[in-house]
Amino acid sequence: MSGTVGGIQTMTIERYIRIIAGSFILISLALAHGVNIHWLWFTAFVGVNLFQSGITKWCLMEDILKKLGVGRSGSCGCESTADRATTAK
């Protein structure tokens, strides 16, 4: 869920992941159309990662974003126990 900081709407990791994944897919489709058809392998890679994160609730992009200091919501909308405890206070 999005929160507010100083009246400004903040984005969660889930939203960042969706924006990044969508951007990767659109960029790779454009590159496949204009540069080389083999860019579709990158599109498939993104799709497989989205699929596995839905099953395992683990997302590499989430780990990368957390290390960069972005948001603290859980993998693609599933908040971790620690995050729920912090939010509840």
Could you tell me which of 13, 2, 9 has the C-alpha nearest to residue 61?
13
- Predicted TM-score (pTM) of the model is 0.67
pLDDT digits (tens, 9 = 90+) for 7-62: 666 788 999 999 999 999 999 999 999 999 999 999 999 999 999 999 999 999 99
Band (pLDDT 50/70/90 cuts) for residue 88 is low
Q: Measured on CA atoms in the order 48, 51, 55, 59, is the torsion positive or negative?
A: positive
